[in-house]
Amino acid sequence: MKNTVKIATLGALGALATLLAACNTVDGVGKDVEAGGEVIQDTAQDVEEDIND
């Protein structure tokens, strides 16, 4: 069980490091998060329209 926690922690830290390296700045992270949110919102609206049709 301890190894699972260590692996999960290392994976999370690796993902965070990759995200921060790709964005370079806090502003870049904010833009990436905003863009991701917009994609989710657009997809949800498309699904809602499909359900209502």
pLDDT of residue 45: 93
Identify the CA nearest to 19 among candidates 9, 37, 31, 5: 31
- Domain ranges, ordered by start, for the chain: 2-52
Query: DSSP 3-state assignment of 24?
Result: coil
Amino acid found at 51: I
The predicted model scores a pTM of 0.48
pLDDT of residue 9: 86
How many Å apart are CA 40 and CA 15, to the nearest integer?
20
pLDDT of residue 1: 60
**Tens place of pLDDT for every residue, the chain, 53 residues?**
677 888 888 888 888 888 777 666 767 778 888 999 999 999 999 999 989 98
